[in-house]
Structure 1
Amino acid sequence: MANLPMDIVNDVFLRLPATTLIRCRVVSKPCFSLIDSPDFVASHLKRTLETEEHLMILLQSDRILRTVYLDAPDKLSDVDHPLQTGGFTEVFGSVNGLIGLTKSPVDLSTKTHSTSNIHRLPIEPIEFPEHSIIRQYVFYGLGHDSVSDDYKVVRMVQCKHKDGDGSYPFEIKVFSLKSNRWKRIHLRSEVQILFSHFFYNLTYRSGNGVLASNSLHWILPRSEGYIDFNTIIRFDLASEDLGVLSFPENLYYEDYMDIGVLDGCLCLMCYGDFSHVDVWILREYGGKWGKFITVVPTSESVVSLEFVRPMIYSKDRCKILLEINNGKLFWFDLASKSFEALRIKGFDEGRPWNVEIVVSSLVLGCKGDPRRAREKKMMQKGDKRCYTHLYIVPLLLVFIP
């Protein structure tokens, strides 16, 4: 056992959830170095995304954050976060285990659930008077730029009052976790006109960007008296350019639409008087949209459809997890069109919840972690247990699915 190769230890560790790996980091220097290495973090994330193991459901209501494993929804866990005191805290996105949190347009944080790493973003003022800003006109987005391997937060704000030119001032800024800096984005005139001359009042959930193909997306619903067709805007995380994404013309005039993502593909939800929801999907970015499914309420389990969002496929890809109305979760059978409620032990269905899928990962998103620095310093002082990992590996095998 003392001669167990490190490549076997590496293979064992790749199969473990990130929360278990965090505990293993302090066992020995070799464990610490392996688990903290960028190559291992990337390999662990890649395997988790491919196998869809250790996925969690994040439930948020007011200042409460809770998680539960998708495959074992019998134990809710509370999540500590930096915005727990005072006011309403919102989750505005999740990518690769990194969670975006906001309590106000200038009070934003990112948190890695599995590692408990918290990064509070520097305060970036808004260039409008405070009385001209309300939540409905602040849009957020969290995404991973695969080109630069950087995690970015986008904040778009539209003033609710006209300026001297009769338009509604608008600003967009992007924060890079790699550089720890905000940057003002200057809009092209053909995009700027959407915000300068037409005042959009986005629905609550539509204010959060949807990540697909290295871009964040928002839907701008048509607004009577300002513009008579829906628009999808996209923010390219690599070029940091805001543009417009085309979609079927017959959906331009839908009265109520929302946007989502399923398996990395953009989805459009079109509501028909709340009696049914047509879900369209863009399987190939830049290609053609196609109608995917129609969701119809049933008297037994789902009686209304005020809000529908596809979350994730089941592992056999025969079902889709849908969030319906205020955080209620159902497996939707693609063949029979039937619903099966996902029961979470201890979950209070009587209060409204927002739902996100969270990956168990070791991703920090930003440079530096004081907690990890302290651990590394302790290890460098000399740890006589530097080979104890060779004896705990058999015990870790019990954690492997």
Structure 2
Amino acid sequence: MANMNMPMDVVNDLFLRLPATTLLRCRVLSKPCCSLIDSPDFIASHLKRTLETAEHLMILLQSPQLLRTVYLDAPNKLSDVEHPLQTGGVTEVFGSVNGVIGLTNSPLDLALFNPSTRKIHRLPIASIDFPEHSISRENVFYGLGYDSVSDDYKVVRIIQCNDEGDEGDESFGYALEIKVFSLKSNQWKRIRVNFEVQILFIYFYYDLLHRRGNGVLASNSLHWILPRTGGHTAFNTIIRFDLASDNLGVLNFPQDLYCEDDMDIGVLDGCLCLMCYSESSHVDVWILREYQGKWSKFITVPKPETVVSFEFVRPMIYSKDRSKILLELNNGKLVWFDLESKSFEALEIKGCEGPCNAEIVVSSLVFGM
């Protein structure tokens, strides 16, 4: 590269168009190339362009013992992803943002990981106030987000105790602990929960669907749905964690869905979505196009003939011409849903056998080398 006497501004423009995995190999071309690729300004510019163009998008596939990636536009090239958090158990993925994913083996063993660069940041242990026997996986919720205000990556951990407190206990129900981790400070801090949110956790009515416990990122906030189940609460609710202020609050919910009994939450193109399941025959998807604005019904997804029932439906991403939406159905089945014809087309990934949970991950150099 150096012998070609190519101006570095041309090299910079060329490199911005390449995926992160290719750029890692380009570091050995010359010292100037290595310095350019490793510079914070280039890493930020590369991420900005990737997000704007939606190029080099990957699907991260998670099976019980393995992580793999495949580019969305090249589903025949599956790559295994090894990471230092691997154990004999199951490592779960609890979010993806800017090419970084959240990994956990337990509430005490968490990490941030870039599958493109293979760089991992293990989070310091955040102790739990409750006895081990009073905690179950169904009552531990995670969220991964990027705070654009402070340029910081944050992890939220919410734990609800199984043991009901004494009548005189200030928690007036099942104790709740919320902590947030800041990558900038590399520290956890406890979040005080106001009455508006605390009262929602009096009873164990949180009926955990597949990955419902993972926070959904939109408008610089993480969101979880608290569905009405078991007769303990009257209405469905969305709680939101503002990444800039570290405050936990409640987001408005569409009145038409207050009393629906089978709900889930997701995000599409940066907008929050609500999935309303109707007797396993179809799913209505509602969308919040303007944050804190009014919810509107977006699409109705009929049950494909190849699916016995809807257990889990999640919109993931638009096609490049925005005529289709990639959906994840049930145990990791990926299909393109045509918005006009309402037809389905399976996304076949060569070498992927069995159920795999999926996440969209951008190719980025975040965490550098």
- The two structures have a TM-score, normalised by structure 2, of 0.96
Aligned counterpart, 1:359: 362
- After TM superposition, the runs of 4+ consecutive aligned structure 1 residues lying more than 3 A away are 196-199
Contact 2:56 2:72 in 1 (8 A): yes
Which residue does the alignment assign to 2:318?
Answer: 313
Against the structure 1 CA distance between its residues 149 and 159, is the aligned structure 2 distance closer, same or farther, given a 3 Å change threshold?
Answer: same
Aligned partners of 1:139 and 1:208 also within 8 Å = yes
Deviations 1:103-152 (A, max 9, x none): 10000011111111011111111110000000100000000000000000
For 2:233 and 2:56, locate their aligned partners in 1 and report how far apart those are by CA, in whole Å: 44
CA distance in 1: counterparts of 2:175 and 2:70, whole angstroms: 41
1:298: which partner in 2? 304
Whether the aligned pair in 2 keeps the contact of 1:262 and 1:310 (CA below 8 Å) is: yes
Contact 2:268 2:316 in 1 (8 A): yes
Cα deviation, 1:55-104, whole Å, max 9, x if unaligned, reads: 00001011210111100000211100123222111000010100100010
Normalized per residue, the structure richer in helix is 1
Larger radius of gyration: 1
Asked whether the 8 Å contact 2:227–2:236 carries over to 1, the reply is yes
| 1:180 is the counterpart of 2:186 | yes
Conserved? CA contact 1:59–1:355, under 8 Å: yes
Conservation of the 8 A alpha-carbon contact between 1:137 and 1:201: no
8 Å CA contact retained: 1:198, 1:227: no
Give a deviation string over 1:293-314, Cα, whole Å, max 9, x none: 0011232x44432211000000
CA RMSD of aligned residues (A): 1.3
Distance in 1 of aligned mates of 2:216 and 2:196? 22
More strand per residue: 2
Partner of 1:80: 82
Aligned counterparts of 2:325 and 2:155: Cα–Cα separation in 1 = 28
Change in 2 beyond 3 A, CA 1:204/1:127: farther
Structure-2 separation of matches of 1:38 and 1:360: 16
CA distance in 2, matches of 1:228, 1:161: 23
Of all paired residues, the percent bearing the same amino acid is 74
Q: Match of 2:48?
A: 46
1:145-204 superposed Cα distances (whole Å, 9 cap, x missing partner): 000000000000000110112510001000011111001001112211112456433323
Partner of 1:378: none
Cα contact 2:205–2:228 (8 A) shared by 1: no
Distance 2:337 2:205 in 1: 36
2:218 to 212, 215, 219: 212
- In structure 2, runs of 5+ residues without a counterpart are none
Instruction: Report if aligned partners of 2:100, 2:113 keep a CA contact under 8 Å in 1.
Output: yes
Larger RCO, structure (CA 8 Å, separation 6 or more): 1
Match of 1:332 among 334, 337, 345: 337
Cα distance in 2 between the residues matched to 1:84 and 1:113: 13
CA distance in 2, matches of 1:127, 1:201: 23
Alignment check: 8 A CA contact 1:87 1:103 kept: yes
* Secondary structure in 1 matching 2:42: helix
Paired position in structure 2 for 1:193: 199
SS at match of 1:206: coil
2:311 maps to amino acid? E
Separation in structure 2 between the aligned mates of residue 223 and residue 170 of structure 1, nearest angstrom: 19
Listed one character per residue, the Cα deviations across residues 315-348 of structure 1 (whole Å, up to 9, x for unaligned) are: 0000000001100000000000000000100110
Moved more, 239-248 or 82-91: 82-91
Structure 1 residue 250: Cα displacement: 1.5
TM-score (norm 1): 0.88
Question: Aligned to 1:87, what secondary structure does the other structure show?
Answer: coil
* 2:181 alignment partner, SS class: strand
Report deviation, 1:246. 0.4
State how far apart, in whole Å, the 2-side matches of 1:208 and 1:73 are: 26
**Residues in 1 aligned to 2:79 and 2:174: alpha-carbon distance in whole angstroms:** 43
> What is the rounded CA distance, in whole Å, between the counterparts of 2:294 and 2:245 in structure 1?
23
Deviations 1:254-273 (A, max 9, x none): 11000000000000000001
Q: Does 1:252 align with 2:264?
A: no
Taking the aligned partners of 1:200 and 1:126, their CA distance within structure 2 comes to 20
The yes-or-no answer on 1:156 pairing with 2:151 is no
2:327 maps to 322
Taking the aligned partners of 1:142 and 1:99, their CA distance within structure 2 comes to: 8
Counterpart contact for 2:260–2:276, Cα < 8 Å = yes
